[in-house]
Amino acid sequence: MFLLSPLDWALIETWKNAGVPLEAVLRGIDAAFEKWRSRKRRGQAVNSLAYCAQSVIVEAQALAGLAPAKKQAEAPFSFEELQNHLETAASSVRTQAGFEEVAASLELLLKSAETHYQDLEQLEQRLTALEDKMVALARLRQTDEQLFEARRELDQQLRPYRGKMSADQLSMLEKQFLERQLLDQASLPRLSLFYLR
């Protein structure tokens, strides 16, 4: 067992954004570790989810033809938890200079939270759009040195996995990693319902 690194979290978010079913992720991880255990010589220890990326994609493709028709599911969280998430995000963004417009949009979503609770997919799209706007504003404030350091750390963490992942996977993972790091540096919250606590 290993702790999840920022790269692992970015990969998890990439799978989530790509719509990879949880079942495919779990099956893929199991398959990757089964393959690793069956090796006669285990030269390297597994220390990242990136090791499982190909297996997860294979499982997702296998499940794609078997997926049942999409139906309206119950929300995995209460209305109060949604309100708290929006309220916390709005107040956190409000404290950062230059992000007042994003905070105002979050406060509008909070005021109509009851309506949005009925259509969480649309709410997630709105929150993702606001987060994209926040990332763009935060990126404009980064210095050249901060950009360089972020890229260097990304390259260092991805180096062992570059040959094991497709260009599309690497591109999505790089984007998620850099955005996560940028928001952390700017002390800005993640807005997606995926981060609802």
DSSP notation for 73-92 = PPPSS-HHHHHHHHHHHHHH
Residue 181 forms part of a structural domain: yes
Q: Same domain, yes or no, for 83 and 154?
A: yes
Residue 51 forms part of a structural domain: yes
Q: Same domain, yes or no, for 52 and 121?
A: no
At 121-144, the pLDDT tens digits run 889 899 999 999 999 999 999 899
pLDDT (0 to 100) of residue 188:
93
Instruction: Quote the CA–CA distance of 151 and 194 in Å, as a whole number.
Output: 25
Strand, helix or coil at 118?
coil
Residues of the chain short of pLDDT 50, as ranges, are 1, 67-71
Instruction: Quote the CA–CA distance of 120 and 192 in Å, as a whole number.
Output: 11
pLDDT (0 to 100) of residue 65:
63
Q: Same domain, yes or no, for 169 and 106?
A: yes
pLDDT (0 to 100) of residue 67:
46
pLDDT (0 to 100) of residue 1:
44
pLDDT (0 to 100) of residue 44:
65
**Among the three residues 64, 92, 113, which one is the final residue of a domain in this structure?**
64
pLDDT (0 to 100) of residue 76:
81
Q: Same domain, yes or no, for 183 and 90?
A: yes
Instruction: Quote the CA–CA distance of 170 and 158 in Å, as a whole number.
Output: 8
Residue 120: domain span: 79-195
Residue 72 forms part of a structural domain: no
Q: Same domain, yes or no, for 105 and 188?
A: yes
Structurally, the chain folds into a number of domains equal to: 2
pLDDT (0 to 100) of residue 72:
52
Q: Same domain, yes or no, for 118 and 191?
A: yes
Q: Same domain, yes or no, for 91 and 158?
A: yes
pLDDT (0 to 100) of residue 138:
92
Q: Same domain, yes or no, for 103 and 183?
A: yes
Q: Same domain, yes or no, for 110 and 158?
A: yes
Q: Same domain, yes or no, for 121 and 161?
A: yes
